Amino acid sequence: MKYFGVILAVLAVFVCQNEASVSVVMNQLNKTVQSMQNVLEERRGHVAENQNSRLQAFMENFRGIVAHTVAATRKEFEGQGPECFSTLDGELNDAQNKVSPALEKCLQDNVPNAQPFESSINGLIVRGAEIQARMNEIEAECASENNVIARACIAKYIPRVSMSVGVYIAAAGKLRGQTAVSMGAAYAKIGSCALSPMKDFKVAVAIARRNARACTKVQ
């Protein structure tokens, strides 16, 4: 992640310039934590909402296929006899009314549980706040009219704070990866679930079209 690059760059400055740059180092670490805190705050309370939005968009692919197939089949037989078209229309409605709830059930049965991710986000936000609070404590503890003494005081805490920030950022990255894996699994399960009702729908439409052709030939 880009944050690891920031941390490594900060530590490189620290190693090269030592005590002269400790305030810059601590400030950059604080900014890194705050940046991730902002991202986590934006996600907090919206995991389920975001999951649902993305899954609904995924389901639109199936809904679109159903709607397009029904519309195209109706258009194909328009004007070829009211009785034949009425029968076709009824068969298409039956097919659509059967597949639509089946698809919705596929979605409802496979939506990931957002609660563990929400809990993890809350835990990370608390951890980030603790790290920032510790940075403030260090600055207060090391405050001195003598800049050399102040920098030396801060410098001894830099390695431990850097490690804490690195672990925090790594945990946030891991959580994001786990969320992506969970969504990928949901897509796969929904897609697998939708295969059977979509196959039945296509068979029903094919039968309706065949019946419509036979009807129009008789007329």
**What are the tens digits of pLDDT across the range 115-125?**
999 999 999 99
Residues 18-40 have pLDDT tens digits of: 555 677 888 889 999 999 999 99
Type of residue at 20: A
Alpha-carbon dihedral sign for residues 84, 90, 91, 93:
positive
Residues 75-86 have pLDDT tens digits of: 998 888 888 899
Q: How many domains does the chain have?
A: 1
pLDDT value at 95 more than 80 = yes
Q: What is the C-alpha separation between 216 and 208, in angstroms, rounded? A: 12
pLDDT value at 197 more than 60 = yes
The tokens for 130 are 């603790």
Residue recorded with tokens 């409605």: 93
Comparing 121 with 218, the larger pLDDT belongs to 121
Output the DSSP codes for the chain.
-HHHHHHHHHHHHHHHHGGGGHHHHHHHHHHHHHHHHHHHHHHTT-HHHHHHHHHHHHHHHHHHHHHHHHHHHHHHHTTS-HHHHHHHHHHHHHHHHHHHHHHHHHHHHT----HHHHHHHHHHHHHHHHHHHHHHHHHHHH--SSHHHHHHHHHTTHHHHHHHHHHHHHHHHHHHHHHHHHHHHHHHHHHHHHHHHHHHHHHHHHHHHHHHHHHHHH-
Domain holding 87, by residue range, is 2-218
Q: Angle, to 10 degrees, between the axis of helix 158-218 and the axis of helix 47-77?
A: 20
Q: Are 149 and 17 in contact (CB under 8 A)?
A: no
Q: What is the C-alpha separation between 141 and 110, in angstroms, rounded? A: 52
pLDDT at 16: 45
Q: What is the band of 172 on the pLDDT scale with cuts at 50, 70, 90?
A: very high
